[in-house]
Amino acid sequence: VASRSPTTSPPHPAAHTPADLARLARLIYPKVGSAAAVMNGRQHYRPYICPFDVLLDHVPAGSTVLDIGCGGGLWLRLLEATGRVRAGVGFDASAESIELARRSLPAGPPADLRFEHRRVEQPWPGPPEFAERFDVVSIIDVMHHVPPAAQRGLLTMAAGRVAAGGRLIYKDMAARPWWRGWANRLHDLAMVREWINYVDPAAIEHWASEAGLKLIHRSRHDRLWYGHDLLIFQRPANG
């Protein structure tokens, strides 16, 4: 951790290392000999790049969670594996990722997790589960992929889904220093052929505050050549 806001500190120390979470990811997405192998592989190494180990400690046990841009469902599945989620909904623009997320769900008694195929720009609220408010709403490494015209709307809609006393976990790739920002830009150009649009964390703070949320935690995490900005907001108990 390079810096931390003096206003708050995390609720308790990290209980899982990136290696622990990578091990869980290998169990959740077992090796398959098909086109899905590449996507599975991405879930396996992602805990070394994305500080899920830090994020986990900001999710109270037994939370309801809405994960926006959930990809292959890794975050919700890790929350489930570590006993933090009671019920969760994830959605993502990629049909392939949603298929992977659904396939990862265990056979037998269903985990109370649902994965939906939709874009953030599509109308909210949609089906009843999207009209609900959640204890935790997360936006992890999604904002820089969203068209600039839709970014403010995404943050505002996400904030609107946070229950009274609940949290919005916002994590995105850091644009600074310039070389870390460019390392990630080149990563996204190579991996998803996309010219990404970073949002200044100050704008996120401003939009969240306008939506009635209070900043309770801010930290910076560097993993390999990637930089990560983490902002956590809370809706007041009477909000």
Ligand X SMILES: C[S@@+](CC[C@H](N)C(=O)[O-])C[C@H]1O[C@@H](n2cnc3c(N)ncnc32)[C@H](O)[C@@H]1O
Q: Least Å distance between CB 237 and ligand X?
A: 28
CA proximity to 84, closest of 7, 186, 169: 169
Answer whether 113's CB lies under 8 Å from 88's CB. Answer: yes
Q: Least Å distance between CB 54 and ligand X?
A: 13
Which residue number has the CB closest to ligand X? 71
# residues contacting ligand X (CB under 6 A): 19
**What is d(CA 43, CA 74) in angstroms, rounded to the nearest whole number?**
7
Binding residue for ligand X (CB under 6 A) from 21, 28, 65, 120? 120
Work out the angle between the directed axes of helices 36-49 and 18-28 (0-180°, nearest 10): 160
CA proximity to 155, closest of 233, 49, 92, 86: 233
For ligand X, the binding residues in 45-64 under the rule CB under 6 A are: 46, 50
Answer whether 213's CB lies under 8 Å from 5's CB. Answer: no
CA proximity to 136, closest of 72, 55, 82: 55
Both tokens of 109, joined, read: 């008694």
Q: Any contact of residue 70 with ligand X (CB under 6 A)? A: yes
For ligand X, the binding residues in 182-211 under the rule CB under 6 A are: none
Instruction: Select the span of 93-101, 108-116, 124-132, 195-203 touching ligand X (CB under 6 A).
Output: 93-101
CA proximity to 24, closest of 53, 60, 3: 53
Of 196 and 216, which has the nearer Cβ to ligand X? 196
Residue window 136-155: x/- pattern of binding to ligand X, with contact defined by CB under 6 A = ----xxx--xx---------
Q: Any contact of residue 93 with ligand X (CB under 6 A)? A: yes
Instruction: Select the span of 21-29, 58-66, 89-97, 204-212 touching ligand X (CB under 6 A).
Output: 89-97
The binding site for ligand X (CB under 6 A) comprises 46, 50, 69-71, 74-75, 92-94, 97, 119-121, 140-142, 145-146
